[in-house]
Amino acid sequence: MTTRTAAQQREQARIAYDAYLATCPTRQLLDRIGDKWVGLVLTALADGPQRYSGLSRTIAGVSEKMLTQTLRTLERDGLVSRSVTLSVPVRVDYALTPLGRSLLPVMQAIKDWAETHIDEVTAARAAYDERESGERQEHLP
Amino acid sequence: MTTRTAAQQREQARIAYDAYLATCPTRQLLDRIGDKWVGLVLTALADGPQRYSGLSRTIAGVSEKMLTQTLRTLERDGLVSRSVTLSVPVRVDYALTPLGRSLLPVMQAIKDWAETHIDEVTAARAAYDERESGERQEHLP
DNA sequence: CTGTATCCCGTTCGATACTG
DNA sequence: CAGTATCGAACGGGATACAG
């Protein structure tokens, strides 16, 4: 057995982890719903189909680039459907697919935990920051 | 009322959205659990307390910097507790707090959806990529 | 053993301009 | 109306070296 440095072993492990990342279902889902705009798009479509321009207005602040990119990814994953009506000007509607709709309860569970426990988290942060600033005082000359 | 360009209106909305980002509980939670290493740390600690070096071995591929950074964030949010045993060398144990433990069912829900539906997602991606490559053919000279 | 500090590269995301 | 193309700034995250 050849000797390897700690760095080489970590590097080896990192490669294995990258492969794991690419296949782990949970990781893939987390990458999707953790995305900056995905949650808002899913929520906006939960009430029914919307046109591109409608989404752009509903989700104020999103750039055309990011809205398009987000919709493309969701469409590719089968969570959102895109239907084009050939007219002048063209009309494009986006809607949740059944698969996309099945994700809503999960999003709701996340939302519920967040709204139920956010106060505890905020309090914990405040306490932590308080402790930290206190300890910095002690270490002064 | 002064006239504003579309770009100015988007900019205005973006600022409002940034403020929203900072306060929305769901967004905060998503930012946390969507983090690259948080899921693995939480999972590793679900079975019981672990030392820093233990986590480093369990979660192969993580750098010391990212492990420390992840643990600090989780500790600050009150999801993980950190206890130092003063000896030589020092020993540090990490464990889930009750708050952290309450998050496990949510993570499980995410995991369940992912494992149940990943095949549909993969199939949708394959179908989408197939369509795309087909359409690129049509557009050739 | 358990971190902290620094550098640096790749990716992400927004702004802007242009197209069918 | 519904995008596409390009560019630059900001940020995450890894390698490395150092410290209590």
State the CATH number of the domain containing residue A56: 1.10.10.10
Give the long-range contacts of residues B18-23, CB within 8 A, separation 24 or more: B18/A61
Domain of A70?
18-138
Distance, Å, B67 CA → D12 C1': 14
Residue closest to C4 C1′ by Cα: B65
pLDDT in tens, chain B (141 residues): 445 566 677 778 777 888 888 889 999 999 999 999 999 999 999 999 999 999 999 998 899 999 999 999 999 999 999 999 998 889 999 999 999 999 999 999 999 999 999 999 999 999 999 887 776 666 555
Residues A71-85 pLDDT 10s: 999 999 999 999 999
Output the CA torsion sign for A87, A92, A95, A99.
positive
Asked if the structure places residue B103 within a domain, the reply is: yes
Residues A32-44 pLDDT 10s: 999 999 999 999 9
Asked if the structure places residue A1 within a domain, the reply is: no
Do residue A99 and residue B14 have CB atoms under 8 angstroms apart?
Answer: no
pLDDT at A1: 46
pLDDT at B123: 96
Asked if the structure places residue A7 within a domain, the reply is: no
Phi, psi of B24 (to 5 degrees): -65, 120
Q: Does any CB of chain B come closer than 8 Å to the CB of residue A60?
A: yes
Q: For residues B112-134, b (16+ Cβ closer than 10 Å) or e, as one string?
A: ebbeebbebbeebeeeeeeeeee
**Percent of chain A's residues with pLDDT above 90:** 71
When pLDDT is averaged across residues A22-50 and rounded to a whole number, the result is 94
Domain count of the fold of chain A:
1
Asked if the structure places residue B134 within a domain, the reply is: yes
Check whether A122 has a pLDDT greater than 90. Answer: yes
> Which nucleotides of chain C does any protein CB come within 7 A of?
1-6, 12-17, 20
Check whether A95 has a pLDDT greater than 80. Answer: yes
pLDDT at A41: 96
> Which nucleotides of chain D does any protein CB come within 7 A of?
1-6, 12-17, 20
Asked if the structure places residue B116 within a domain, the reply is: yes
Asked if the structure places residue A98 within a domain, the reply is: yes
Phi, psi of B112 (to 5 degrees): -60, -45
pLDDT at A5: 65
Asked if the structure places residue A49 within a domain, the reply is: yes
Residue closest to C14 C1′ by Cα: A63
Asked if the structure places residue A2 within a domain, the reply is: no
Check whether A125 has a pLDDT greater than 60. Answer: yes
